[in-house]
Homo-oligomer: A and B are copies of this chain.
Amino acid sequence: MLLITKQIQQAMEGGSWIRRMFDAGIQLKKEFGEDAVCDFSLGNPDLPPPPAVADGLRAMADHAGEPFSFGYMPNAGFDWARNKLADYLSKEQGVTLQGSDVVLGCGAAGALNAFFHSVLEPGDQVFSFRPYFVEYNSYVANHGGVFSTLPSKPETFRLDPEALAAAITPKTRALIINSPNNPTGVIYTKEELAAIIAVLDDASKRNGRPIYLIADEPYRFLAFDGATVPSVLPMYDYSVVVSSFSKNLSLPGERVGYIALSPRMEGREVLVAAITMSTRTLGFVNPPVVGQHLMAAALGTQVDAGIYERRRDLMADVLRRAGYEFQMPAGAFYFFPKAPGGDDIRFVSEKLQAQRILAVPGTGFGGPGHFRLAFCVQEEVIARSYEGFKRALDS
């Protein structure tokens, strides 16, 4: 008997490359032992959360016996949590945000879904530049939208305003960018963003409807060599920032994220109200209560980004010595080297796996010919991977 839909049956057969490699890793580790595998497949931050997180848990425990300690709250999160986050983001983003400009959600993923549910009419288009975070596809399709990708500039993976201008139609509703980028590590400059925004601004006027610019920024804190990540909020009326505490506080399992609206956006109360209602009607209901307390306790602290930077340098050294072509990541914790021979699926699933090195084919990100390495792993693993990388290239 037909237990599930045809559509989900197909989606399951397609699967996600990231999860598929995650499962392959579990198998290899069972077979050969943890220490025999170099697992660069999953962006699961391995640094422990900052000490303020444990303090936050203890403080909550002291009040856990009170009524409503874990009770329902407004669907956008506690007012005090929104206010505290708005203060923090005002400094980070260089604009003045009120608590009412921010909606807390169940991770950045939850916030994005609530946003798309609020703004997408049936058939509305959402664009992203390739390569991109594959889950965007589902988040748009969930709400009747059509997700399409655009080419970024060859070799450099930088934003291409001309490609955007050529693709926009009256049905275009949003462009989603991710900087520092997963999987390329690119940070977009202010000039690049301005060029993209000029295209969006023109088209919004032509369409008589805003085209949103969504900046997905979970890796903002991870900009190396003193680089800064420009904020889009002061640059464009219809810009929003989506992010979470999964990476900077190493809290991905607790699902706390947010969406912040540009204070330049006129009439944004109605959008905030819609995102808030969507958070409820989609079944998220509210961001997890413990996560909000931990966010408040730890806001302003973060994991040691210097550790990630040292790993990046070590990984670059390993790859260079082993003979790989790659662009140095300016931020985030991923390398996106060229797949030797050009066939990334074959290189990852045959050559690298034979060396017990786990990576994700670029095809899984709409970037074939490359592969992704997540370097949120111990330096020892990176150093040990050299021989395997070399043999995979030579084999």
Q: Is the CB of B42 within 8 A of A65?
A: no
Interface string of A62-75 (1 = CB under 8 A from B): 10111111111100
Interface string of A241-259 (1 = CB under 8 A from B): 0000000001111110000
In the complex, A283 has a CB within 8 A of chain B: yes
| Chain B residues with CB under 8 A of A68 | 44, 46
Which of B45, B60, B288 meets A288, CB within 8 Å? B288
Which residue of the partner chain B has the closest CB to A284?
B106
Q: Is the CB of B268 within 8 A of A3?
A: yes
Which of B1, B9, B117, B119 meets A210, CB within 8 Å? B1
| Chain B residues with CB under 8 A of A204 | 1
Which of B252, B273, B284 meets A284, CB within 8 Å? B284
Which residue of the partner chain B has the closest CB to A275?
B4
| Of A51-59, A147-155, A340-348, the one with at least 4 CB within 8 A of chain B | A51-59
* A120 vs B139: C-alpha distance when bound (angstroms): 18
* A121 vs B6: C-alpha distance when bound (angstroms): 8
CB pairs A–B below 8 angstroms (12 shown): A1-B267, A3-B119, A5-B120, A46-B67, A54-B64, A57-B61, A61-B61, A70-B250, A106-B284, A109-B285, A142-B281, A290-B290
* A residues with CB within 8 A of B: 1-9, 11-12, 16, 19, 42, 44-49, 51, 53-55, 57-58, 60-62, 64-73, 106-107, 109-110, 112-113, 117-121, 135, 138-139, 142, 204, 208-210, 238, 250-255, 265-268, 270-271, 273-274, 277-278, 280-286, 288-291
* A25 vs B56: C-alpha distance when bound (angstroms): 31
| Chain B residues with CB under 8 A of A138 | 281-283
* A45 vs B270: C-alpha distance when bound (angstroms): 30
Which of B3, B11, B281, B286 meets A253, CB within 8 Å? B286
Q: Is the CB of A118 within 8 A of B8?
A: yes
Q: How many copies of this chain sit in the oligomeric assembly?
A: 2
A9 to chain B, nearest CB (A): 8
| Chain B residues with CB under 8 A of A251 | 70
- The 9 A-B pairs at the shortest CB distance, nearest first, are namely A253-B289, A109-B283, A54-B64, A138-B281, A57-B61, A113-B283, A288-B288, A290-B290, A4-B274
* A8 vs B275: C-alpha distance when bound (angstroms): 10
| Chain B residues with CB under 8 A of A46 | 67-68, 71
Q: Is the CB of B274 within 8 A of A8?
A: yes
A154 to chain B, nearest CB (A): 31
